[in-house]
Structure 1
Amino acid sequence: MSDPRVTYQSFAATAPAAQAALLAMGKAVEEAGLDKQLVELVKLRVSQINNCAFCLQIHLNVARRIGVPQEKLDLVATWEEAGIFSSRECAALAWAEQLAQLPGRSVSDDAYAAVSKHFSESELLWLSVAIANINAWNRLGAAFRFAPPTARRSAAA
């Protein structure tokens, strides 16, 4: 494991307004009414893609606490082949992958049409906000190598 470049605590102390803004964005997603287990699966998948151990551990902790089945946690990295995710979860995970892997390309009309079959416009907007939020957290956590929290202490994201 690589040593942290900056601790999460140092980030929070140095940039409290940024931390508060990211936390507020996450809170807004929570209050929007999307299924919490679905949102946690999406956050896990995006954190895997972005190699953010800090966020991955936080969202594993949260997912376990809210009752996401262990088999889904074990197989979220291979969700397409797993055969245990609902069509709505698969649509959300595919959309998450699209938005997590944007550099150099845009999101296709086909991808938008596919996810739109499973989510209302409002739900899709909030799902996209959740993905944007975890992407922002991942970029901070990966850049500064925030140490992953233990199962007992979960920080932010």
Structure 2
Amino acid sequence: MKTILWATLTANGNYAQSGPENPPKKEALADFATHAQAAGNFIVGRRTFEAMRGNGGGGPFGEVDIVVVSKNASEIPGVTVVRSPQEALSYLQQKGHQTALISGGADIHNSFLGQDLVDEVIFNVAPVLEGKGLNLLINKDNYQYKHVKLLGCKPLGGDVIQLRYAIDR
């Protein structure tokens, strides 16, 4: 199964955190919806899912399998809850999906990256600088590099640029 990590970054490279003073860019949200529809699924952490749902999220995801990774939640109506990244991928594979879209938050992204479960990354770079932010990490304990290959670069509008990379695994 091909795994794609989708994230929005700030122009200075932080994992973009949205909120009332910095809402997500509509171009990035539309791009996420397009990728989720194409994959037929997305994997998300519980806090990020609750934030999506609290903001009226759910919109274009009627036929999309949503998998929430949570160590605490046992059941969330309308979605599948699993305990680990591997369990999320196994579930989607059993459902016949060829691609898994990993959508957020930073802890989920870092879990998948740290376990070497990501084949491709899509970074939408938002036109904002963030003073203190979260980072995407391939390993929290060691300083290391992982080589990537640029697959594409395109503007999404609203000064958002998308970078797409394949990861050597």
TM-score in terms of structure 1 length = 0.36
Identify the structure with the greater helix proportion: 1
TM-score in terms of structure 2 length = 0.34
Structure ranking higher on relative contact order (CA contacts 8 Å, 6+ apart): 1
